[in-house]
Amino acid sequence: PVLRSYNCTLIFLGNSLEPVKDALGRPELRVEGNAAALLVERCGSGARLHVSLSHEKEYAMAYVIIERG
């Protein structure tokens, strides 16, 4: 997956990103391993990911906003 934001592009390999739901059922991205370290390095230690998911039949998409920390 590739995450892009203004002046911050992140390319993650493997399964280091996992879509999950928070306590209210809203989608979130769990970031683990090297991906978490890269996120901190490129976007700051307080970086937050906001995600919107959509799907129809066999197609799916995710829109992610990276809020720098």
Average pLDDT of the segment spanning 52-62: 90
Cα 26 from Cα 20, distance rounded (Å): 8
Give residue-wise pLDDT tens across range 13-33. Answer: 666 788 899 999 999 888 888
Residues β-bridged to residue 64: 51
Asked if residues 25 and 18 have their Cβ atoms less than 8 Å apart, the reply is no
| Closest by CA position to 43, among listed 16, 65, 63, 61 | 65
Average pLDDT of the segment spanning 35-45: 85
State the SS3 of 8-68: EEEECCCCCEEEEECCCCCEEEEECHHHHHHHHHHHCCCCEEEEEEEEECCEEEEEEEEEC
Please tell me whether the overall predicted TM-score, pTM, comes out greater than 0.75 for this model: no
